[in-house]
Amino acid sequence: MVEGYVCGQDGNGVSNTDVLVKDTKISYGQVVRTDGDGYYKATFHLHNDNLGDPLLVEARGEQQNLKVEFDPKDLESERKIKVNFGTGCDASGPPVWLWWGGGAMVAAAGTIIGMKLVRSQRKQERGKGKSQRQRKT
């Protein structure tokens, strides 16, 4: 699979843009269109003998020449190549709000767990204090 983003000068994805993805050794290619976020995905059925084939990816007049690379021994993982076009087009991971939201949830969970541990420890200390007083009498 060849996937990536096409972005404009402002770093935002450009929708409805044609992207040509072509294995030039076997003269097989396809044109796919970006979605509303500028994301595209072209799927090829690659065999181990396609390893190292020259790959041409073109969008908005910009070309990138790559080679098909994957681990031929790995038969489980999907074979992916990421190719982005444009400036500031590093949207290959999850959206930023997802990272912030996930971080906030982890912080909240840590706070709750920490509070419960402190309360539990205080209860144990109170219980020990009562039992020591009873032994002295």
User: Is pLDDT at 135 greater than 80 in this prediction?
Assistant: no
* Cβ contacts of 88 within 8 Å, gap of 6 or more: 7, 9, 10, 11
Percent of the residues in the chain that have a pLDDT greater than 70, as a whole number: 83
Measured distance CA(20)–CA(72) in Å, rounded: 25
Encode pLDDT of 76-133 as tens digits: 888 888 889 987 675 555 555 556 677 778 888 888 888 888 888 888 877 766 655 5
Q: Which residue has the tokens 């681990």?
A: 71
- Give which of 4, 1, 2, 27 is closest to 17, Cα–Cα: 4
Percent of the residues in the chain that have a pLDDT greater than 90, as a whole number: 24
Mean pLDDT of 66-70: 85
User: Is pLDDT at 15 greater than 80 in this prediction?
Assistant: yes
User: What is the three-class DSSP state of 26?
Assistant: coil
- What pLDDT does residue 90 have? 59
Mean pLDDT of 50-66: 89
